[in-house]
Structure 1
Amino acid sequence: MISEDADWKFTTIQNLCARAAEVYGTRMAVEDGGVTLNFVELDAMRRRVAKAMVAAGVQKGDRIMIWAPNTWQWFATALGLVTAGAVLIPASTRFKGIEIAELVKRSGTSMLFSAGTFLGTYYPDQLKAETRDTLRQVVVIGDTRNGDQNWDSFVAAGDGVSDAELAEREASVGPDDLCDMLFTSGTTGYPKGVMYGHQQCLKAIDAWATRVGIREHDRILVIPPFFHAFGYRSGAIVSMMRGAVLMPHLTYDAGEILKRVSEEKISVIPGPPAIFQGMLQHPELAKFDTSSLRLGVTGGAVVPSILIRRMREELGFAGVVNGYGLTECGGYGTMCLATDSDDVIANTAGKAAPGVEVRIMDDHRNFLPDGQPGEVVIRGYIVMKGYFNDPEATARTIDAEGWLHTGDVGYFDADGNLRIEDRLKDMYITGGFNCYPAEIERMLSTHPAIGIVAVIGVPDERLGEVGKAYVVLRPGTSATEKEIIDWSRANMANYKCPRSVEIRPSLPTSPQGKVLKNLLREEVPQDA
């Protein structure tokens, strides 16, 4: 197991990959369909991709985007670009061309690695001409069309770069340099780039892996997308760190997951509750052999205690863990232990990792005693380095004492476990994906018939919460609820799309004209 000791310290992601090759050698590192890589081969591929980056003119600090589903090439590309000193910008495969255009602009991305044909769409075709013009290169992971460059030829173009030149570039990348920027929206509705460094990333993953109990030889099925901290850090990187086998999964289908568990002897599955609920709801669950399952890692939504029990009893998980985290802390915060009771795992988010402080604060920034609810604040090495090119938003989020204000309301119970009660922000979570009403409202407002729109999260049995949009049409226009939903699906990521639309002549507002969402929420049955 790779962890910090007297002889070796976490420094950079590329040093971890090289160390994994030394420690784990020819043990299996990645299984992805018909492709297998051991740890030595994975490190060699990392170096080869890094050389291709250098050959392509990538400089230290360049931002490079990956817009593709979970594959071994995604991970190899990420390892190669950080080795060359670039900063990874993961982009959701659910994003449409207009969303990618905005993300490229806001991040200053200079190169894009795109999926080829995925879910019936050739991804590069979604790119605007002006977006392509701002990019040095578009490289396609998968099949190519229209003369686009494919991933294999890109990698091969770096074979002329010498080991010495690569070593010089690697030596320029230090523990405090940025490794990635994950973009997250806030109450403004505009995405903000969370800057994260190599060493803090590795330390956070190590602490998390120790808490939840990831082991050598585990076979980890990574269903959460790599563009999400859960998939990339708590799936791909942790596998490399702990000597586990990374097994990327493309799209969620309960039957396909159960088939892979049965045939490929999966032992660990990280993911939101919806993944496990789908497996349990499968009509032929009893036909699949799930005896290899050891650990289920969930979070990102309310986890009913009955789900924890069913995961143990019907899916056969020996351990189930739940936690709380946010992108601004690398995806981490607090975590339960697998040995905790079902009640603790279902109803609390556990405790903070060593070296991380979590407290509860009132509106006047006074700390509150256990049992009293207030805003959850976090301080320690897991806190981001700030928002990219946005010092004002950074200062609003991280105070002068270093406390990151999460915008979530919670309290500590008598056993010292964190319990999340509510959100100060309007954010809701759909199937493990954060949804920000301000962002969705901003997009819906571009619809030619929408005059006023308010979006709230409403309960959903399968996904936890889904969006509901309340709309007032512009005078002289017309649109049906179905037309608005169809338009949403064509213009934004699926998880952001409202699942229901209610068209009204007016919405309740304050004297200042702000829509009173609390009144809209009160109308929604909580047992829906």
Structure 2
Amino acid sequence: MVRGESQELSHVVGASEPPLIEKTIGAMLAEAAARDPDGEALVVRHQGVRLTWAELKRRSDAVACGLLAAGIRPGDRVGIWAPNCAEWTILQFATATAGMILVTINPAYRTSEVEYALKKVGCRALVTAVRHKTSDYVAMLREVMPELAAATPGTLRARALPDLRLVATIGEEAHAGCLRFGDLEGAVDAAQLAAIPIDAHDAVNIQFTSGTTGFPKGATLTHRNILNNGYFVGAGIGLSKADKVCIPVPLYHCFGMVMGNLACLTHGATMVYPAEAFDPLAVLETVAAERCTALYGVPTMFIAVLGRPEFDSFDVSSLRTGIMAGSPCPIATMREVIDRLGMHQVTIAYGMTETSPVSFQSAMDDPIEERVSTVGRVQPHLAVKIVGPDGETLPRGEPGELCTRGYSVMQGYWDDAARTAEALDEDDWMHTGDIATIDAKGYCRITGRIKDLVIRGGENIYPREVEEFLLTHPHIADAQVIGVPDERYGEELCAWVMTRGGAALSEEEVRDHCRGRIAHYKVPRYVRIVETFPMTVTGKVQKFVMRETMIAELRG
């Protein structure tokens, strides 16, 4: 190799200091409680909950012991299907302490989606909200499992979900066949918990990511994966025990539970939840009342907060930093975040669930241009490279597929060796499917997507999943789904539909078929009933032609 050649290639390795954390999440919680027992760990505004680190550890330990008493064992999968709340976080730490694997389920999931998720990973227990927005979770579970109503809590036997034994509901209401979450908080047996053999390399979390085949994949993450990622993300914005982090992003995403909760845990900062789900007014009220120093969100969230008519009536001067991720940030929005919210040290982060999630992050003092045109530089203890179609590492500045390797890469997709092998090569490189460049200074720019991914308001949607669902309609013969630009969400879904035998079908009927049966963000905003799709001479659908047609039509 010619001297200096390696510096010209798009292969970058992050710093090797500080060293990686080789502890479990439960051990880190114990350390936090011992170091700062009276420090504020968790504030949940909409529930009126305030917990110190000592109280959070005690309640988490109590739930861990309660799960063990109910017959749930280390290694068992425990689902959580709920919006942001104190019980979510208590369960996150309880399952980690007991050596169990938390399965995070999107609150927007409907019956078919939650059934698939619980069955795929063989959940032994499920903690669920009773309802959220228009979703009646208990009714949906009874639809999937009619046996639930007559079951004795802890001894459930359901044909559709043969592994599930226990359902616990959040709140004071009693529901047939279910235990109340509060009843799980039993006496703490410290000796029992201490005797559980847990290694930092053990799986602790399964997160579902949409799949191109229409079925979500369960990315399996370890204590070492997510604890370290939380630490380095928090270090990137200078977190300490003096900080309060406002977390309006959902906990079921890595953004909430890793970049939020675990960043706070590893730096002693306070986790603050403004509402069950994102509410821009609640964010402003919470930042002002709690004197939050950091705020998280995707660009659309910041746009909504800045757009509130009451904005100027709130004192947000406590803010100094935060993280923006999920989709590219318009420069005008970044300037407002810095100037009006006072977040001069705001950073941009990029990653994917399979890498725990963050692999690139901008620095607090990066120029604003770098914070909107790039996703920053590689995180410590990670390596990244840009490869061409044949797998060769490309020169700096040349676009290709972004690959990541290091501590953050998942164990694999749960019970799916084939798709794991597609994503992770024999040298342990995670192939992201994103097209990117790395410049001479190491800054990364995401320039496109190899997979036909649509990012709507920070939610990743694979069109194939929506297409397969549309095909369940008896009058739909074929469907193609694309993303089209949208000022509010970045992208919106558009479905082109061909009917079966020329059957009469309206655009609204297509949307009605989706509503209540798939997550709301997967329901196409735009629907077009067509006779044919644009095709190549070899019979492949030309989605780019569809996209260009729709953009021209929408611009009018």
Unaligned runs of 5+ in 2: 1-16, 149-157
2:116 alignment partner in structure 1: 102
Deviates more, 1:493-502 or 1:442-451: 442-451
Q: 2:166 aligns with which of 137, 146, 157?
A: 137
CA distance in structure 2 between the aligned counterparts of 1:98 and 1:340, rounded to whole angstroms: 45
Deviations 1:355-398 (A, max 9, x none): 11111100011101111111101111111111111111111111
CA distance in structure 1 between the aligned counterparts of 2:202 and 2:288, rounded to whole angstroms: 41
Deviations 1:236-287 (A, max 9, x none): 1221221111112312222222122222222211111011000111122222
For 1:503-518, what aligned pairs fall within 5 Å after superposition?
A: 503-510=529-536, 513-518=539-544
Where 1:45 maps in the other structure, the secondary structure is: helix
1:116 alignment partner in structure 2: 130
C-alpha contact 1:336 1:349 (8 A) present in aligned 2: yes
C-alpha contact 2:230 2:260 (8 A) present in aligned 1: no
1:178 alignment partner in structure 2: 203
Percent sequence identity is 34
In the superposition, relative to structure 1, how do residues 151 and 74 fare at CA in structure 2: closer, same or farther (>3 Å)?
A: farther
Which letter maps to 1:385? Q
Unaligned runs of 5+ in 1: none
Deviations 1:279-335 (A, max 9, x none): 111122222211111113111101111111111112221221112100110111111
2:345 alignment partner in structure 1: 319
For 1:370-449, what aligned pairs fall within 5 Å after superposition?
A: 370-449=396-475
2:379 alignment partner in structure 1: 353
Aligned residues: 520
C-alpha contact 1:10 1:16 (8 A) present in aligned 2: no
Which letter maps to 2:180? W
RMSD of equivalent CA atoms: 1.9
CA distance in structure 1 between the aligned counterparts of 2:124 and 2:37, rounded to whole angstroms: 35
Say yes or no: does 1:168 pair with 2:180. no
C-alpha contact 2:213 2:464 (8 A) present in aligned 1: yes
1:49 alignment partner in structure 2: 63
Q: 1:238 aligns with which of 263, 272, 277?
A: 263
CA distance in structure 1 between the aligned counterparts of 2:179 and 2:338, rounded to whole angstroms: 44
Greater RCO (Cα-Cα under 8 Å, separation 6 or more): 2
Which letter maps to 1:217? A
Say yes or no: does 1:219 pair with 2:244. yes
C-alpha contact 1:142 1:150 (8 A) present in aligned 2: no
1:82 alignment partner in structure 2: 96
Where 1:75 maps in the other structure, the secondary structure is: helix
C-alpha contact 2:404 2:431 (8 A) present in aligned 1: yes
Deviations 1:177-217 (A, max 9, x none): 10111111232221111111112221222122112322222
C-alpha contact 1:449 1:474 (8 A) present in aligned 2: yes
Deviates more, 1:476-485 or 1:86-95: 476-485
C-alpha contact 1:319 1:339 (8 A) present in aligned 2: yes
CA distance in structure 1 between the aligned counterparts of 2:539 and 2:171, rounded to whole angstroms: 50
1:68 alignment partner in structure 2: 82
Shift of 1:5: 7.8
CA distance in structure 2 between the aligned counterparts of 1:354 and 1:237, rounded to whole angstroms: 17
Q: 1:336 aligns with which of 362, 376, 397?
A: 362
CA distance in structure 1 between the aligned counterparts of 2:498 and 2:486, rounded to whole angstroms: 24
C-alpha contact 1:117 1:143 (8 A) present in aligned 2: no
C-alpha contact 2:77 2:103 (8 A) present in aligned 1: yes
1:15 alignment partner in structure 2: 27
In the superposition, relative to structure 1, how do residues 478 and 490 fare at CA in structure 2: closer, same or farther (>3 Å)?
A: farther
What TM-score do the two structures reach when normalised by structure 1? 0.94
Deviates more, 1:135-144 or 1:175-184: 135-144
What TM-score do the two structures reach when normalised by structure 2? 0.90
Which letter maps to 1:189? G
1:26 alignment partner in structure 2: 38
